[in-house]
């Protein structure tokens, strides 16, 4: 990814607790025993896949381990007066992102955000010249990673960084590493990072929450919540998926669980999953990224709506602030990478304490005194997810392609399987549609030459070409 000078956000990862919608389309009754295709997981990838299968007039069943739809897109609407996106909050790539049109069709409000990006140096904002200096450092760092990615051998992004970034070295590392991928740059493949599509052009937010959107898109689907797949017996002709509510027989399966869930062996396979897939999932492990949400009435930070702030820091013990979310008093302090992982392991109280201490350091103690309510996510501890977003370890970029190869009549999907849009909701969505097309072809519901069925809301087909623009993640 080449950094543009527009800002620093694209590198950052980054939209619900919808009320537990229902146990599933079948109420308290177990899901049906047969389908053409069974989809494991009701996150963005699973919902996209199931919609595609329904559009092709084939019978699908979605089984979801959690008690709600969304996976890593969950909007909590009960803790605060405004929606709090516990996972993904921003849509990227507005020119090609199908979810923006889907959101409008579903009657949700989507709009560009955020505009303001501030850098704090101690208790003051960076001057224009200092901001310029930082953005120049960021561009150089990104270019160096791009250049390194063209070598024969893959290297860690950190080893490619220019050595003369001075006071901005740590900040550049945070923005491009932990904040963009959930991992420190020493743990991230330069080739993988460089192949990632630019996320800087514009950032789109959904007023009702990105989790609300994903849940809405899954509303009409035949799905069963609180129904984890425990074992999948598979061959080249059919699959049987075991769940606590019984077995489901199908002609193909689409598995959308996160790379960490797959690698952890939470689903057993008979016969075993070939080792190369498990190795690939391990090498595409999830980074750590969490939101610490603080309610700060009265705007004690003196920031505008959806202002984003980072600090000049040479330590990994830092964060990104999104102030006054959607014009409310809700502020999110995002922690990520190795520091974020260690902090989240200490629990919610420690996370909130860090956020308060960090704001006090940068804005004084009035800010800390203003906190009226808090909530922190801990994605590494969510058993059905186990982390935030995938980032390839050095040397592991080809692993993404391995995960797209069919295994008998099973097809993997999810953000980790996307070559260029990994770590995003639209990447997950695209991967779900790709896997659904492959599964439909496998069962003869789609001919090789036939165009894929239009999903309920048609969109231009996109197999993202490797972009060489710049990120703001």
Ligand X SMILES: Cc1cc2nc3c(=O)[nH]c(=O)nc-3n(C[C@H](O)[C@H](O)[C@H](O)COP(=O)(O)OP(=O)(O)OC[C@H]3O[C@@H](n4cnc5c(N)ncnc54)[C@H](O)[C@@H]3O)c2cc1C
Q: Which residues bind ligand X (CB under 6 A)?
A: 13-14, 40-46, 63-66, 71-73, 87-90, 92, 228-229, 256-258, 261, 266-267, 289-291, 379, 384-385, 388-389, 414-415, 423-425, 428
Q: Which is nearer to ligand X, 188 or 385 (CB)?
A: 385
Q: What single DSSP character describes residue 83? A: -
Q: Encoding tokens for residue 354?
A: 């860090």
Element (H, E) at 395: none
State the DSSP string of 96-137. Answer: T-HHHHHHHHTT--EEE----EEEEETTEEPPHHHHHHHHHH
Smallest distance from ligand X to CB 122, Å: 28
Q: Which is nearer to ligand X, 66 or 407 (CB)?
A: 66
Smallest distance from ligand X to CB 338, Å: 16
Q: Encoding tokens for residue 217?
A: 């898109």
Cα–Cα distance for residue pair 355/296, rounded to 1 Å: 12
Cα–Cα distance for residue pair 336/291, rounded to 1 Å: 9
Smallest distance from ligand X to CB 162, Å: 28
Q: Which is nearer to ligand X, 190 or 223 (CB)?
A: 223
Task: Tell me the CA distances in angstroms from 265 to 262, 278, 284, one per residue in order.
Answer: 6, 9, 15
Partners of 233 in the β-ladder: 240, 270
Closest Cα to residue 359, out of 406, 324, 320? 320
Dihedral (CA of 34, 35, 38, 42) sign: negative
Q: Which is nearer to ligand X, 99 or 145 (CB)?
A: 99
Q: Encoding tokens for residue 103?
A: 């959101």
Smallest distance from ligand X to CB 129, Å: 30
Residue 407: alpha-carbon gap to chain centroid:
25
Cα–Cα distance for residue pair 281/190, rounded to 1 Å: 18
Q: Which is nearer to ligand X, 72 or 442 (CB)?
A: 72
Smallest distance from ligand X to CB 268, Å: 10
Q: Which is nearer to ligand X, 66 or 165 (CB)?
A: 66
Smallest distance from ligand X to CB 207, Å: 15
Burial per residue of 420-449, b for 16 or more beta-carbon CB atoms within 10 angstroms, e otherwise: bbbbbbbbbbbbbbbbbbbbbbbbebbeee
Q: Which is nearer to ligand X, 189 or 256 (CB)?
A: 256
Smallest distance from ligand X to CB 152, Å: 30
């Amino acid at each position: 990814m080449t950094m543009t000078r527009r800002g620093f956000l694209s590198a950052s990862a980054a939209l619900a607790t919808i009320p537990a919608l229902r146990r599933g389309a079948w109420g308290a009754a177990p899901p049906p025993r047969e389908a053409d295709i069974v989809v494991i997981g009701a996150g963005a990838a699973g919902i996209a896949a199931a919609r595609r299968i329904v559009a092709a007039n084939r019978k699908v069943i979605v089984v979801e381990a959690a008690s709600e739809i969304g996976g890593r897109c969950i909007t909590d609407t009960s803790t605060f007066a405004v929606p709090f996106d516990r996972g993904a909050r921003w849509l990227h790539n507005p020119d090609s992102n199908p979810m923006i049109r889907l959101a409008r069709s579903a009657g949700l409000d989507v709009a560009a955000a955020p505009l303001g990006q501030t850098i704090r140096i101690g208790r003051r904002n960076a001057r224009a010249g200092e901001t310029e200096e930082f953005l120049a450092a960021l561009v150089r760092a990104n270019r160096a990673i791009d250049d390194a990615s063209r070598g024969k051998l893959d290297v860690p992004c950190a080893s490619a960084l220019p050595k003369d970034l001075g006071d901005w070295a740590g900040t550049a590392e945070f923005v491009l590493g932990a904040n963009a991928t959930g991992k420190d740059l020493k743990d991230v493949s330069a080739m993988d990072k460089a192949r990632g599509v630019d996320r800087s052009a514009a950032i789109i937010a959904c007023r009702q929450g990105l989790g609300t959107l994903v849940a809405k898109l899954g509303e009409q689907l035949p799905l069963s919540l609180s129904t984890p797949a425990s074992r999948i017996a598979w061959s080249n002709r059919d699959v049987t998926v075991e769940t606590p509510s019984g077995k489901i027989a199908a002609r193909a399966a689409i598995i959308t669980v996160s790379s960490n869930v797959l690698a952890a062996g939470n689903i057993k396979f008979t016969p075993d999953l070939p080792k190369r897939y498990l190795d690939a999932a391990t090498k595409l492990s999830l980074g750590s990224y969490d939101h610490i949400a603080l309610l700060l009435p009265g705007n004690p930070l003196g920031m505008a709506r959806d202002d984003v702030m980072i600090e000049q820091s040479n330590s990994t013990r830092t964060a990104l602030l999104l102030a006054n979310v959607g014009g409310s008093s809700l502020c999110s302090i995002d922690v990520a990478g190795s520091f974020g992982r260690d902090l989240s392991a200490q629990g919610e109280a420690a996370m909130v304490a860090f956020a308060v201490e960090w704001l006090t350091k940068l804005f004084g103690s009035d800010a800390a005194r203003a906190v009226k309510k808090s909530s922190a996510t801990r994605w590494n501890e969510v058993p059905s997810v186990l982390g935030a977003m995938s980032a390839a370890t050095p040397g592991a970029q080809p692993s993404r392609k391995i995960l797209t190869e069919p295994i008998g009549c099973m097809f993997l999907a999810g953000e980790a399987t996307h070559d260029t849009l990994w770590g995003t909701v639209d990447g997950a969505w695209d991967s779900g549609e790709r896997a659904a097309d492959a599964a439909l072809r496998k069962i003869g519901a789609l001919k090789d030459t036939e165009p894929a069925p239009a999903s309920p809301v048609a969109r231009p087909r996109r197999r993202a070409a490797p972009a060489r623009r710049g990120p703001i993640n």
